[in-house]
Structures are given as structure tokens and as C-alpha cells.
Structure 1
Amino acid sequence: MPVDYEINAHKYWNDFYKIHENGFFKDRHWLFTEFPELAPSQNQNPVKSGMPESRSSEGGPGSAAEQHERSWNSFGHETQLPPVQESVAQQLSRLDIGADEFPGCSATYRILEVGCGVGNTVFPILQTNNDPGLFVYCCDFSSTAVELVQTHPEYDPSRCFAFIHDLCDETQSYPVPGGTLDVIILIFVLSAIVPDKMQKAISRLSRLLRPGGMMLLRDYGRYDMAQLRFKKGQCLSGNFYVRGDGTRVYFFTQDELDTLFTTAGLEKVQNLVDRRLQVNRGKQLTMYRVWIQCKYRRPLLSSTS
């Protein structure tokens, strides 16, 4: 059965986004509190215009979107979408990009989100950060999710490039050269892949960062409430579980993540646990949500190869 979950992972995630496309969930406006690297300037406060400032507010972690944390947005309309099957190379050829060019090649600040879902991180960044030199790349394992990003009314190809990508497939290329990204974002995505494939995935991503570039992660911590709620038959291996819809999730320790990042040649800037008490007064039940948040930097003296 575990083999089936791996072979059919595309199907499970596509089904997930088809079912929940029009769910009423909030965008991640807590991003700019936790990760000021995504804002226009670290000397400004981008959390404005009615955006909740607290990361424990309705739109942040621990909200009603907890089911997978990779929350999605209601677009306010029904969408009839053909399946996207184009490779990155096919998309680039269709954009008439020269051999020595790539999307956002003239940008001065480049952000990549891996596991973008339907854009709940990407669109707040584009809405908040008006830096003309900004370019955002975003990819997801699910073709359905990428379609939803590309057809969103605020998707702007001059500022953003969305593409399908399997984080674990070493034969798939990214649309940017090595050493060119300022920030890579991983929010509740690393936990969705098989544990023994995590190191190679992080090492490949680290080579895309410029010297001084940052990798930002927020993901599930060990003994999170969601882990404790799994039934006995749902554990595939140590701390790795399958949900009822076939998608999978791993629960990390700080040391595990530190090993993944440092083995990839990155240096620690932040590695912390965020524990939040959840109280269900009706059932007289108290449990903790546990997340781990990390920031790791590519050393300034690192090679860009």
C-alpha cells in the first residue's frame, strides 16, 4: 500500500485541489511577520491594509484551514480547466525566450516557492511587494494547482512564472540557473514527500541560491496535534503518515531539519519551535499545534556552481 501512495501521489494531490478549489480559506498574511525577507523592505511594515498582524490570527497557522495547512483560496467563480501537462522547457519555448535568457532574468530580486498550491503565498507577495525588480517563481506537484494559479485574475506573467515540478525528480530542471535566487520558500511541503528523498531535494534547491540567499521553511513539528490524531493503521513509517485522501505527511524535529539544511551546505539563521495550545471546551480537550520554522542561508563565500 505505501508503494501505491508514492506511485499515485499526483492523483491524490490533483483530487485534493479539485475537491477544495472553492474552499473559503484565508491567504497567509502572517508571512510578512514571520518572513520579512518577502516584504518590499525590512525597514517597512508590510502588514497593513487590514491584514492581521498576529500569526495566530484567523488566516494564520492553526486556523480552520488546518486540514493540510497548504490552504487554498476561493476565487469566486467556477473554472473549467484542461489538464496542464507542459514541461518547463515547453512553457519557455512558447514564451519565445532566448537560449541565454530565462523568465525574470532581468529581475534584481528573485523568489521561488516550492509547493505553491493555488497561490496563497504567491499572491500576497505580489500584492504587497511592488518592487519593480521582483520576480516570483512558483511550482507544485499538482497540475490542477498550477492551473488554478495561472488562471487567477492576479496572475501576471511579467512578474511571476508558475510551473509543474516534482521536487523528488532529479531529471526535472528548474527554469533558473544555479546561484540566481534570493529566497526559496517551503511551507508545509517538505513534509509531503518520502523522508529518504528529502536530502537530495534540499541539496538541489540549495544550489539555486545566490551566495547570501535564504531558504525559508515552516512545517509540522513532532507530536503536533495532527500527528496524535492519526489512527494506528495510518502510519507508513516512523513519523510518516497517510491521510484519508491519500496525501502524506511527516512530522519533523529541529535536529532533523538542521541536518538536512547543513548537509546541503547552508548555515543556520533560525530554527525554532512554535507551540500553540488548542482548547476544545466542548470536549474538555487540550492539545498542542507544533510547527517548526527555519531560515538557512547559503554562505557568502559559497561557489555558485
Structure 2
Amino acid sequence: MESSPEARFQTDNTMTQKKQPRQQLSKAMEHMRFAVTADPIAPISSTSTSSPPPPPPPPPSEKTGAEPDAYGIPSTFAPVRKPAARSHSPSNNQKRTDPFAFGSRFLEDGDDIFEFNAWDHVETDETYRQFSLEQYERQRQDPVSEFDRKRFNAEPEKWWNVFYKNNKTNFFKNRKWLSQEFPILDEITKEGSPAALVLEVGAGAGNSAFPILEKSKNKGLKIHACDFSKKAVELIRGHELYNPELIQADVWDVAASPDSENGGLPPGIKEGSVDVVLMIFIFSALNPKQWDQAVRNIWKVLKPGGQVLFRDYGRGDLAQVRFKKGRWMEDNFYVRGDGTRVYFFEQEELESIWGGKRPIPSECKGNRAEDGKEGPVPTFDIVHFGVDRRMLVNRQRRLKMYRCWMQAVFRKDADAAGSATEVATSTLRQDKTEAVEAAEEES
């Protein structure tokens, strides 16, 4: 029996609906659907906002000007980048590399944005930019309550303990890409390399430390993994690869005051003894009032010539834009639903903080010399800085998600005249001498 036209229409319509991509979003993103939904017509228009691809990097053999740092390892700071590629060509098949090489997939006019699930160096479109500005204003108009502001800032380690208790080791993937983004990690893990000490700040469950350890063939390499969450440290110590001769995990707050235990330094770490400090998505978890003390502590532990390997959130990242009411604490600083805090940085801001150019707020001036004068602000050389703007694509939901991360290498000058403590002590002696001479002149 032949079905009626109405029945056929309903059947065809049902089949069409089944073929349509799933459109539902999480509650955290439903309010911004229009700003992140990709055009159903896949190829992008001629008004592409992609940045033009930079020239491909020279082969390793052609790199010049790499000066040795304090421990005799070539200072190659820029990430490893392959030539621009969008195809599945066997000669440069980006989908099959492990770890995946970032920074080589450029979006150009006429490309099908759903060909891959991620594109590099993509600027946000005008709709998203305008929505972001409006969203920031809405966030400021409905901030976190004063009660919550105090409790989230008073004991930040409490909320991270809960986080790691709930997520254990399953939340983050192992960061196998670290040696590509930070070539020094490739150098110090090679067989026959000089002994080196790596301090990871905010080590979490060990998703950075253990891949470095597995890769290492350097018998003289040791990793000191620190986190201010006791639960995170327990997870590292309970890992099957944990070997105290190769890796040590301790509880430490990078913003610890100089009058705390061990002079504010990690347990067992001496001043000027660390070759590399790894800071992956940790600086953003600090209150802005803690930045200066954290930078001072990092300066103290590093050898002259030592490097800080830094990666964190950038302003305009999707994670910032999608925050709704009751999360804003101050500009670019938020509390997540689980009680952990996060800050989103500008490039100039980080260059100022680590380059020693940021004015110190009066409430942050806690590292004072005996006569009330501030110790010198450490000044790191900014030897590499990159802004990683990436567009992730969800084919099923037809979404485009703009992410933004800051990545840098900061270096303690190899000719640094002693530690910050030594300079501060010298300054104090000089001030006292001048005070005595002035008193003698008055008498």
C-alpha cells in the first residue's frame, strides 16, 4: 500500500532531521551559541581573518647564534615548527605525528574549516570580538560576592585539593609536546648531557614531569615537582614511575614569603641551584597580588643563565568569554565553578611582570629590607614570546572555538650579579652606611 504524500513528507522530514548535526550546547555555552556557530557553508570567504603564514623555519643545521647558557647546553629558545601544511601528504602528514606538531596548519581562503579539528594562527572574527567585549561588561556588572571573594582567595590550595581528589590523574593528558615547544627540554634529556635540575611549579598530577622523565636518557637529570595541593603531590608520589632518585615531589607555594620555611624556597632546593623552571598553566592560578613574590622566588632558585618555560591563558580565550554571572573577581581574574581561580594575560602584561617593569602595588610590598626599603625587582631576559591563537572545530555541533595561550621563555642573565637576596643585602648595607655618615655630619 502506497503511503500518502503527507506521510512521505513527514518521513523525509524526519530523515532530514536525523542527518542534521547535533546543535545542543552545554549550559555554560548556550548563551553564546551565535558567536561560536560556524557558517553551514564550509569554505571561508575572502574576508578571512587568518594571519599570513610566516616563512618556514630553517633546518636545525642552519640555525646560528645559539649561545651556550650557564650549564653548557645550547640556548635554542624558539619552538620546533614544521613548514605550513594542510594536507594529509605522506611527506608532512600532521595527523600522524606523535606528539602532534603545533603551529603549522594555516587557514586560507577557500579552505573547508571542517577538514581538520584545529587550525593555527587564527584571529577571532568580528562577531566573536564584539560579543567578548559585551560579555566582559556583563561579567563586571555581576561579580562574585565579597564573601566568596574572601573564601576563594584565603585558601586556594583547599579548592585544588578538592579538584585533584575528584579528578585524580584523569583530567589532563600527558604533555608529550613539551620538548617541541621548549627545545631546552630536548637538550637536557639527551644521553651524555650535563647534570641538570628541573623545578616544575604547579606540577599537578605529573602530566608534564613524567613524560619528561620517560623521555630522558640523561642519568644526571632530576625533576623536583612541586604543587601547593597536598592531594596533587600524593598523586605524583603514588605514580608507578615515581623514583625518588629521579623525581621528588613536595608541597610548595611559589608565592611563599621569604620569612617562611626554607626561606620561601621548595624543600631541599638551594638558592641558585635550578637549571630550568617549568610553569605550565600555574601563574594564572595566583592572585595578581602574588605575582611579584612568585617572580622573586623563581629568580632565587635559578642559576644564572637558567630558563623559565612558561605557558598560560591569554585574554579572549573561550574559557574567559564564556564565564557568566558570579565569577568575575577583577579584570581578567575569575573563580571557576569548582572554586579554583584563573587569570587571563596580555602579552605586554607578562613582559612587564617578568621584565621587571611592572610597578609594585603598595599592598604587594611585603619583601622589604630591614629599613623598610624594597628589594630590587628581578629582571628576566624575554628571549622568546609567542601568542598561540588557535581555532578548534566541532564538526558534529558546527562550532568554532577560539583559544588563546601565551607561551614564553624567560632567562636569568648569565652575568647576573649574584642573587636577589645578595643584592638586597648589599643595598641595605649601603643605606645603613649612608645613614651613619649623615648622622655624623649633623653632629
Which TM-score applies when normalising by structure 1? 0.76
Partner in structure 2 of residue 15 of structure 1: 162
Shift of residue 219, structure 1, vs aligned partner: 0.2
Counterparts in 2 of 1:28-177, with a 5 A limit?
28-40=175-187, 108-170=195-257, 171=260, 172-174=264-266, 175-177=268-270
1:278 aligns with 2:425: no
Aligned residues: CA RMSD: 1.8
User: 1 CA distance for matches of 2:330 and 2:396?
Assistant: 33
Matched with 2:327 is 234
Distance of 1:118 and 1:287 partners within structure 2? 27
* Correspondence list, 1:205-216, <5 A: 205-216=298-309
Which runs of no fewer than 5 residues in structure 1 stay unpaired? 45-106
Question: Which position in structure 1 is the counterpart of 2:418?
Answer: 304
SS of the residue corresponding to residue 160 of structure 2 reads: helix
What CA distance in whole angstroms lies between the structure 1 residues aligned with 2:248 and 2:340?
Answer: 26
Determine the C-alpha separation between the residues in 2 that align with 1:300 and 1:184: 15
Q: CA deviation at 1:286?
A: 2.2
Provide Cα deviations, 1:98-150, integer angstroms capped at 9, x if missing partner: xxxxxxxxx82111000000101110111111211111111001000001111
266-275 or 279-288: bigger deviation: 279-288
Amino acid at match of 1:205: I
Partners of 1:8 and 1:252 lie apart in 2 by 23
Measured in 1, the distance between the counterparts of 2:265 and 2:413 equals 23
User: What secondary structure does 1:258 align onto?
Assistant: helix
Instruction: Please give the per-residue CA displacement for 1:23-65, whole angstroms capped at 9, x wherever unaligned.
Output: 2642000101101211245989xxxxxxxxxxxxxxxxxxxxx
Report if aligned partners of 1:114, 1:186 keep a CA contact under 8 Å in 2: yes
Shift in alpha-carbon separation, 1:124–1:43, aligned structure 2, 3 A? closer
Alpha-carbon distance in 1 for matches of 2:220, 2:397: 51
Given that residues 135 and 159 in structure 1 are in contact (C-alpha distance below 8 angstroms), is that contact kept between their aligned partners in structure 2?
yes
Q: Which residue of 2 aligns with 1:192?
A: 285
- Structure 2 residue runs of 5 or longer lacking an equivalent are 1-147, 357-377, 420-443
Q: Tell me if the contact between 1:217 and 1:294 (Cα under 8 Å) persists in the aligned partners.
A: yes
**AA at the equivalent of 1:221:** G
After superposition, the Cα gap between the structure-2 partners of 1:119 and 1:280, relative to the gap in structure 1 and judged at 3 Å, is same
How far is the alpha carbon of 1:294 from its aligned partner?
A: 0.6
Distance 1:269 1:42 in 2: 21
1:266 pairs with 2:380? yes
Q: Percent identity?
A: 42
1:205-232 deviation line (CA, Å, top 9, x unaligned): 1121111110110000000010011003
Cα deviation, residue 300, structure 1: 1.2
1:58-92 C-alpha deviation (Å, 9 max, x unpaired): xxxxxxxxxxxxxxxxxxxxxxxxxxxxxxxxxxx
Task: From the superposition, tell whether residues 204 and 39 of structure 1 become closer, same or farther in structure 2 (CA, over 3 Å).
Answer: same
Letter in 2 for 1:157: P
AA aligned opposite 1:132: K
Whole-Å Cα distance in 1 between the matches of residues 186 and 288 of structure 2?
Answer: 31
More helix by share: 2
SS in 2 for 1:293: strand
> In structure 2, how many angstroms separate the alpha carbons of the residues matched to 1:141 and 1:114?
9
2:188 & 2:225 partners in 1: Cα distance? 21
Answer yes or no: is the 8 Å Cα contact 1:178–1:304 preserved in 2: no
Instruction: Give the superposition deviation at 1:199.
Output: 1.6
Q: What's the TM-score, normalizing by structure 2?
A: 0.53
Distance in 2 separating the partners of 1:22 and 1:163: 17
Structure with the larger strand share: 1
Q: What is the alpha-carbon distance in structure 1 between the residues aligned to residue 343 and residue 172 of structure 2?
A: 23
Whole-angstrom CA distance in 2 between matches of 1:35 and 1:23: 24
1:119–1:43 CA distance, 2 compared to 1 (3 A): closer
Closer/same/farther in 2, CA of residues 223 and 139 from structure 1, 3 Å limit: same
Q: Structure 1 residue 281: deviation in Å? A: 3.9
Q: Contact between 2:327 and 2:335, CA under 8 Å: does it hold in 1?
A: yes
What is the aligned partner in structure 2 of residue 95 from structure 1? none
- C-alpha separation between the residues in 2 aligned to 1:135 and 1:281? 43
